[in-house]
């Protein structure tokens, strides 16, 4: 009996393996480029009021909005970045000025702002966040709370330098 070392099946398998290797090889440089910037979310900019003031807390508080801000590429935390936050809460609608406020990221690029409880509006319990200070590309986020009873919500920014 002769041993067939190269038949159609093994050839196809080898070719397939080669394609996979080549494709993953192509992907490696993309990974080396690092952290991709966060794209703006649909509807994120709705009812945005530019220039919300930096505040200790929005209204009476009781709900926490938190997150991080990092630089695209190397993922370095970005301190001192201004994040604007607004939502439909127990104290006002998204369009009310009193529902808007801003906070700055700390040395670790983290932010945390107390605000009134977010309540479902337009069908979903959600918040809005904006980075719009010019040094990086503008990003609008619209995170949705997994449950309307949640007392906190997170949103994370990866910003692309202009």
Partner 1 sequence: MPSNQGRRFRAGLAWAVLALAMLVPVAAATLSPLLAWRGPIYILAGFAGVVAMSLLLVQPLLAAGVLPGLEGRRGRRLHRWVGGSIVTLVVLHVAALWVTSPPDVIDVLLFTSPTPFSVWGVTAMWALFLVAALALIRRKVWAWHVIHRGLAIVVVVGSVIHAVLIVGTMEPVTKAILCLMVVAATLAVTGLVRIRARRRPVR
Chain positions contacting partner 1, by CB under 8 A: 41-43, 45-47, 88-90, 93-95, 119-125, 142, 148
CA atoms lying within 13 Å on the CB side of residue 10: 4
Closer residue to partner 1, CB minimum distance, 65 or 78: 65
We find the least distance from the C-beta atom of residue 157 to partner 1, in angstroms, to be 17
We find the least distance from the C-beta atom of residue 70 to partner 1, in angstroms, to be 23
Q: Find tokens 């159609």 and name the residue.
A: 8
C-alpha 23: how far from its chain's center? 28
The whole-angstrom separation of Cα 97 and Cα 107 is 29
The helix/strand/coil state of 25 is helix
Residue 152's contacts (CB-CB under 8 Å, 6 or more residues apart) are 63, 64, 65, 66
We find the least distance from the C-beta atom of residue 156 to partner 1, in angstroms, to be 17
We find the least distance from the C-beta atom of residue 67 to partner 1, in angstroms, to be 18
Closer residue to partner 1, CB minimum distance, 33 or 95: 95
Q: Which helix (H) or strand (E) holds 10?
A: helix 8-32
Closer residue to partner 1, CB minimum distance, 78 or 114: 114
Closer residue to partner 1, CB minimum distance, 21 or 124: 124
Q: How many helices (H) and strands (E) does the chain have?
A: 1, 7
We find the least distance from the C-beta atom of residue 43 to partner 1, in angstroms, to be 4
Closer residue to partner 1, CB minimum distance, 124 or 135: 124
Report the candidate in 65, 76, 30 with the shortest Cα–Cα distance to residue 150. Answer: 65
């Amino acid at each position: 009996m002769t041993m067939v070392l190269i038949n159609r099946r093994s050839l196809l398998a080898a070719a397939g393996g080669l394609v996979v290797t080549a494709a993953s090889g192509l992907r490696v440089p993309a990974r080396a480029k690092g952290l991709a910037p966060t794209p703006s979310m649909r509807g994120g900019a709705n009812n945005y009021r530019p220039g919300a003031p930096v505040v200790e807390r929005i209204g009476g508080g009781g709900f926490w909005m938190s997150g991080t801000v990092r630089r695209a590429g190397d993922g370095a935390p970005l301190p001192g970045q201004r994040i604007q936050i607004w939502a439909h809460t127990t104290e006002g609608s998204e369009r009310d000025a009193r529902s808007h406020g801003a906070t700055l990221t700390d040395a670790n690029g983290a932010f945390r702002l107390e605000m009134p409880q977010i309540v479902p509006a337009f069908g979903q319990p959600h918040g809005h966040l904006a980075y719009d200070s010019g040094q990086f590309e503008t990003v609008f986020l619209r995170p949705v709370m997994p449950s309307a009873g949640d007392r906190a919500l997170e949103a994370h920014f990866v910003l692309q330098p202009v």
